Every structure is written in C-alpha cells, then in structure tokens.
Amino acid sequence: MNQNVGSTDKRVRTALGAVFGIASLASLAGAISLPALAAPVFGVVSLLMLGTAATGTCALYSLLGVDTCPASAGRSR
C-alpha cells in the first residue's frame, strides 16, 4: 500500500493520538468523569491515529482517494 499521509498530517495524527490516549487512560484511572464506553473508544481511536501516523498509510484516505503526501506526483514511494 502506498503512503498517502503527509508530514503535517502525521504531526496532527500523532498529537490527536496522544490526546485520545491520555483521555482514555485518565478515564480508566478515574481522573476524569466520562461514560464507561469512552475509555475503550478513545483507546482504539488513539491506536488508529498513532498507527496511521507511524506507517504513513490511511485506509480511509485510500477509499476516498485522498492523498496528503507530497511525493505522489507519479513517483513510486
């Protein structure tokens, strides 16, 4: 699968992944009051964001035809 996530997009995904991960852990620890379903949902979102940032590939972007990677102008990555 070709990379379709650019560097700015990776930074945003990393930051959002960290925020969702911290919120998930804080909810599990009881530090913040959220519904019981929020912690696992935030945890999964965090893992997805961090995973797509690390690999540079987003399956949803592939389905939608979105490409934020600047090296996509006919070159092989």
pLDDT tens figures, 14-65: 999 999 999 999 999 999 999 989 999 999 999 999 999 999 999 999 899 8
Flag whether 29 is in a domain. yes
Flag whether 44 is in a domain. yes
Flag whether 1 is in a domain. no
pLDDT class of 70 with cuts at 50, 70, 90: confident
Flag whether 2 is in a domain. no
| Count of domains observed in the chain | 1
Flag whether 77 is in a domain. no
38, 27 Cβ separation under 8 angstroms: yes
Q: What are phi and psi of 57, to 5 degrees?
A: -130, 130
**pLDDT digits 0-9 by tens, 6-17:** 999 999 999 999
State the residue range of the domain holding 12: 7-72
Q: What are phi and psi of 76, to 5 degrees?
A: -85, 135
